[in-house]
Amino acid sequence: MKPPAKALVTLAKFAVSIGILVLLLRTQDLSSLQADLLAVKLEMLALAVLLLLVQTFVLCHRWILILRAMNVALDWLPGWRILMVSTFFNQVLPAGGDAVRIWMLRRHGVQWSPTIGSIVADRFLGLLALALVILTGVPFLFSRTSENSLLFAVVGFVWATCFGAIALLTMDRWPARITAALPVKLVQCAILVRNPLLAPRGRATLMGSATLIPLINVAACYALANGLDAQLSALDAFIFIPLVTLLSAAPISIGGWGLREGAMVASLSLAGLAADKALGISVLLGLCGLIVGLFGGLVWLVAPERAHFTSPAWAPAERTDAAPI
């Protein structure tokens, strides 16, 4: 993507985030929201930050298992360092985290194909695990709402994700004329993504760690709800927070801000939670993410790869970030 186009995309993302936040804040009692945020129980806030920090270790473990399935040996500490630095850049640069992850992995001598394939596979497995968690909560969702459009969208997402996983796993059984008609790069990327799912060793651990990640997010939101004295049950958090995670992951805002708040207010209203409490949970979750991201910034200051940050090796990483994968 050319620089002017990138600037327009970034401005559009800022507009979405700011626009949604302004619309939400105009309908809220700001003094009540401020009082809630200032009165949050610090131990619950600290627990949420700790949970999000623990989540980075699980994310790192999932990514390393994916790399191993692609015959790439990456030690745990460098992998976690790369992940933390990418978390920091996700906070300060729109969509910059993956580009930094690609660049730092390349500094460790990993070839382009497994580098990009590991990130695509990481994203897909995260989406698949989120779909499984949402699927588990669907029976309870039916008892919480009769909104057909919402139920149709949730079930449609789950089925689409599961269909994509099945299509990947059975790709070697497709008729040759179908695979021949697909773009070569798309087939190559699909093969890289399916390798971790078919790995004979570590597959159960991989799926277990992938499923644990959205559950940690649920636990963090539940802790923040308790910190605000919001009447949110653990079951309702399990049902609705994964939906919020899914909606806020859409790449049309800055760090999920705005989308996450709108989704949190809309989703938790189905659980009977007041809009100001739901908004408070979402804002605090975003601030906890910023704290973890700032910790990643400290990691970046001592990262050995930082010494080469201005070298020409950065340019291919930027171009690859915009290339189809």
Taking the domains of the chain in order of start, what are their residue ranges? 3-322
Handedness of CA 193, 52, 17, 298 (dihedral sign): negative
Q: What is the pLDDT of residue 1?
A: 56
Q: For the chain, give the mean pLDDT.
A: 83
Q: Could you tell me the end-to-end alpha-carbon distance of the chain, in angstroms, rounded to an integer? A: 13
Tokens of 57: 């270790």
- pLDDT on residue 182: 79
C-beta atoms surrounding 169 within 10 Å:
12
Instruction: Identify the pLDDT of residue 252.
Output: 78
Give the per-residue pLDDT at 17.
Answer: 83
Q: Are 83 and 209 in contact (CB under 8 A)?
A: no
Total-model pTM: 0.85
What was the pLDDT predicted at 177?
81
Provide the pLDDT for residue 308. Answer: 60
Tokens of 164: 């994509």
Whole-number Å distance between alpha carbons of 53 and 37:
21
pLDDT in tens, 182-205: 787 777 777 777 777 777 777 788
pLDDT digits (tens, 9 = 90+) for 50-80: 999 999 999 999 999 988 888 888 888 999 9
Q: How confident is the model at residue 6 (pLDDT cuts 50, 70, 90)?
A: low
pLDDT, one tens digit per residue, over 270-286 is: 888 988 899 999 999 99
Residues in the chain: 325
| Section 116-131 average pLDDT | 88
Can you tell me which residue has the tokens 């939101």?
Answer: 221
Q: Which residue has the higher pLDDT, 201 or 112?
A: 112
Q: What is the pLDDT of residue 80?
A: 94
The answer on pLDDT for 314 being more than 70 is no
Q: Does 307 have pLDDT greater than 90?
A: no
For 107-143, b where at least 16 C-beta lie within 10 A, e where not — what string?
beebeeebbbbbbbbbebbbbbbbbbbbbebeeebee
- Over residues 249-271, the mean pLDDT reads 86
Residue 152: per-residue pLDDT: 82
